[in-house]
Amino acid sequence: MRLRRFLLFVPAALLLVPFFLAPLFVIGTESFSGQQAPVGEYIKVVTDPGIRKVLYNTFFVALVVTICSLLIGYPVAYVLARLKGKMATIGLFLIFLPFWASTVIRSFAWMILLGRNGPVNSLLTGVGLIDDPIRFIDNGIGLMIAMTYIMVPFMVVPILNGLRAIDANLPRAAAVMGANPWRQFLAVTLPLSMPSIAVGCTIVFVTALGFFVTPSLLGGDRTVVSILISEQANRLLNWPLASALAIVVLLLTILVFALLRLSQLASRRRGKTQAGVLA
């Protein structure tokens, strides 16, 4: 039995060791090879104002994109969870339809849509809402819009799975007890869907931290850490600093996953405690 369990980990190990752990070891070693002290590059990441601003921009953009994706994705998932038959299939098809085009193509499309003379500004000017075109590109606004559009499906899928897993009898029981639809949602549906919301937010946030193509096309002055790493490695050939930045981002990503896991364990413990009290 133990041998069989061990063999189940072999395919994952064969995939992780050469394609993840070995490159990670090389990057980690490179991060300590700077001309300064062994941890000099890490000290520079923490103390350099320019790098701290880039890290702030990265986390700010990722946080805004996560919030916007949740505000858009949850209602979409809520509606899809209540569709049946062909309508549900069509809804899922529309959610996954953007994946037929690459991120590069979708980012270029948003550059055209949000350009100074693009369709969005032309429409707003034509209906009289604005007098002069709005500057969407190169100030972070267009970047967040494009990233939100790209990341919404990653928010919808886990929330949709969580909503579909909720027993339909629970909202009905709340209705029998006199709860109106809004109260049913707040007291039953939303709390039970919180784990899937946490998963969706984590996926979107962590993925947004590593975005490269869209920020390079729409980011402008709002530089993110992926672009900074690329500049340090390819243009300035400062591999120790680039490696240190990559390790810092990886550690922060692990921290996000650890916080998610701790919140899940805490919610389970609260559930067990409440169940014991009721018993």
Rounded to 5 degrees, what are φ and ψ at 231?
A: -65, -45
CA geometry: angle at 69 spanning 186 and 151, to 5°? 140
Residue of 240, 224, 278 lying closest to 63 (CA atoms): 224
Domain boundaries, the chain: 39-261
Structure tokens at 130: 């604005």
Q: Is-contact 166 189, C-beta < 8 A?
A: yes
The C-alpha atoms of residue 72 and residue 152 are separated, in whole angstroms, by: 7
Indicate the fold that domain 39-261 takes in CATH: MetI-like fold (1.10.3720)
Q: Is-contact 59 209, C-beta < 8 A?
A: yes
Q: Is-contact 109 149, C-beta < 8 A?
A: no
The C-alpha atoms of residue 211 and residue 215 are separated, in whole angstroms, by: 7
The C-alpha atoms of residue 74 and residue 68 are separated, in whole angstroms, by: 10
Q: What is the model's pTM?
A: 0.83
Could you list the pLDDT tens digit for every one of the 279 residues in the chain? Answer: 666 777 777 777 777 777 777 888 888 888 888 777 678 788 888 888 888 888 888 889 999 999 999 999 999 999 998 888 888 888 888 888 888 888 888 888 888 888 888 888 888 888 877 778 888 887 788 889 999 999 999 999 999 999 988 888 888 888 888 888 888 888 888 888 888 998 899 889 988 988 888 888 887 777 888 888 888 888 888 888 888 888 988 888 888 778 877 877 776 676 556 445 444
